Amino acid sequence: MLDQHKKKETIIKKIENLRREIEEHNYAYHVLDAPSISDAEYDKKFQALKELEKQHPELITPDSPTQRVGAKPLKEFTQVNHEIPMGSLDNAFSEEEMLAFDRRVRQLLDTTDEMEYVCEPKMDGVAVSIRYENGLLVRAATRGDGETGEDITQNIRTIKMVPLRLRGSSIPNIVEVRGEVYLPKKGFAELNARSEARCEKIFINPRNAAAGSLRQLDSAITQSRPLAIYFYGIGSKPSPEIPTTQTELLSTFKSWGLPVCPLTKKVKGLAACLAYYQSMNEKRQQLPYEIDGIVCKVNSQDYQTQLGAVSKRPRWAIAYKFPAEEVETTIESIEFQVGRTGALTPVARLQPVFVHGVTISNATLHNMDEIHRKKIHIGDRVMVRRAGDVIPEVVSVVKSAAKTQKILLPTHCPICHSKVEHIEGEAVARCSGGLFCPAQRKEAIKHFASRRAMNIEGLGDKIIDQLVDTKLVDNVADLYSLSLEQLADLDRMGEKSAHNILDALQTSKKTTLARFLFALGIREVGEATAKQLANHFGDLAHVMAATEDALQAIPDIGPVVAKHIMAFFAEKHNPKVIEKLIAAGIHWPKVEKKLSALQGKTFVLTGTLKTMGREEAKEKLERLGAKVAGSVSSKTSYVVAGEEAGSKLLKAQTLNVSILNEEEFLDILRKNG
């Protein structure tokens, strides 16, 4: 017994030593940029640790270097509210704008002294926020809209440069750090080469690839892509307090094991910022990653606090962008591409031209309004711009050829031949064959199966991609004729999973008219509009036969939305798919048309309700004919204030909007339900 105990202690010590050695080597490689052992030696130690943990799974810890991947693929991303909003930077495109920024900073701080700035390359990547508790990585999120992002913890854990546990002894109990995830140029080229060999999607640029990698529901896919990260800022006030300057903060990050960009530099005065900008612009081609400018930040944290922010944009920092590169070439032909939402985009096929290390043979023309405004024709000599994260675009006509051809918008979709819908006043023309068009097929099916639509559990993006690619499914109605054998033959799909999907398809047949209308993916018909249509007309046949005037009689449905609805049902393919869906057994209870005293009233929900979640409260209100808005205005009828209500409650008080506590809110629901 004693020998077994000693043996276990020896194994524990060996595992701990290997973990410590591996983390030290990771720190030397990713943070200090000074590898201490060869890749082969590192791999040997890593494999030894994996083998020991395999033999003794009870000794595995969340922060072990082996535990970067292992969780099951997610069904969907959950939302994360940022404690401190993730703002975006103002841009400068000239020395005059940088001069104005520097002058504004010093005026606000009431000083004539030269300002101390920290300059760093503006990485062409994706901003993320990572939360550590007691040194352990617990959550990571995207920027999202600045207030709310998506939980990408599983994917961030796959990036080797991100420590799973912070180093050192003076680590805050809770700290949220922010950084930029990017894909190095070499990794980007290798990723596209692999994708091309497999006939898979080719990424436009490294930023696009990094963003796509972070939004994979299966973290194993993210791990297969060589993502990197540099940290640059703080997302929550830790205890003890953060250092007093940006440079000290970055030094602290390094001591915690967080990699920071080695090209970051402290400078004095605007002239030094401009010199740094020029230096980065000259060496950008030689850098191992893409940059599209520099970022200048006031170094003092106290000054940053005094300067504050306007509209979520900090006054103490600015991005000075590199100029876009422009070249001259000829438009040889025009092709209209159909996007996943049916939008027709004119693309110019160009005489190939070399720009910024890339051969450009096509460029976007955006839409017909742009073509008319710039007076572009086939055969014209044009100026083409390529700017960092932007697809090449035609800027202007340099010289019109003697013989040119006018560019005309197709009357029918080049993919499915459905009619093209181009509403007056709108720039974008769209294919009306939503449920039928192959260009929109995958997105239409994904939307149809989503939780808020038909809620077909287990039918994720990858399975839908396979079903379409193998031609098992041409439209949403085909989902209900799938067999067990067809599903079980898909990659990464067993018989049990196939059974589960068939069960989910069967369950989804019992739905509501509002959900069904939303699932059809009619342009600009969201959940609220779908509920209004269902409640107003009562059955599907009346919705499909509704005139423009009848549709506009519904609150919040104007001429544009009415035209979208009519165009969708007028396209002969869509009603045929709907007939197949009904024939497959999709049904819903009869809609009882009933007006309540809440019809047309606008509610705003804030804080936490004890008796129900916010989604349930929203659904109850909308069922009674009310609208639920995300912000308070003078047109708001009521604000429902739960526990820990925030700024919306304060605004309601300022505007004298009626405020309901939870008990009063429940009473209103009871009286009108």
Contact 151, 103 (CB under 8 A): no
Distance CA 140, CA 557 (A): 39
Q: How many residues in total does the chain contain?
A: 673
Q: What is the DSSP letter of 434?
A: T
Cβ contacts of 662 within 8 Å, gap of 6 or more: 609, 610, 611, 640, 642
160 assigned to active site:
no
Contacts of the segment 616-624: beta carbons below 8 A, 24+ positions apart: 617/665, 620/669, 620/673, 621/669, 622/527, 622/528, 622/531, 623/531, 623/535, 624/596, 624/598, 624/599, 624/669, 624/672, 624/673
3-state secondary structure of 254: helix
Q: Mutual orientation of helices 461-469 and 441-449 as an angle, nearest 10°?
A: 140
**Up-side HSE of residue 487: CA atoms within 13 Å toward CB?**
24
For tokens 């600009």, name the residue: 524
Q: Residue ranges of the alpha helices (H) in 356-460?
A: 368-374, 441-449
Distance CA 355, CA 285 (A): 12
662, 609 contact by CB (below 8 A): yes
How many CB atoms are located within 10 Å of the residue 189 CB? Answer: 12
- For 50-64, letters b (16+ CB in 10 Å) and e give eebbeeeeeeeeeeb
* Per-residue H/E/C for 626-652: CEEECCCCCCCCEEEECECCCHHHHHH
Give backbone dihedrals phi and psi of 655, rounded to 5 degrees, phi first. -90, 5
CA 419 remoteness from chain centre: 31
Distance CA 628, CA 614 (A): 10
In this structure, is the dihedral angle defined by the CA atoms of residues 106, 109, 110 and 111, taken in order, positive or negative? negative
Q: Which of 14, 122, 375, 620 is catalytic?
A: 122
Residues 306/109, Cβ–Cβ less than 8 Å: yes
Determine the Cα–Cα distance for residues 137 and 159; give it in Å rounded to an integer: 12
Distance of CA 326 to the CA centre of its chain: 29
Dist. CA 286–CA 306, nearest whole Å: 38
- Specify the pairing of strand 174-182 against strand 90-92: unpaired
SS3 annotation, 176-221: EEEEEEECCHHHHHHHHHHHHHCCCCCCCCHHHHHHHHHCCCCHHH
Q: Which two tokens stand for residue 136?
A: 């352990």
Tokens 């024939």 correspond to 583
Cis bond before residue 35 (omega within 30° of 0): no
Count CA within 13 A, CB hemisphere, residue 481.
Answer: 13
Mind telling me the catalytic residues? 122
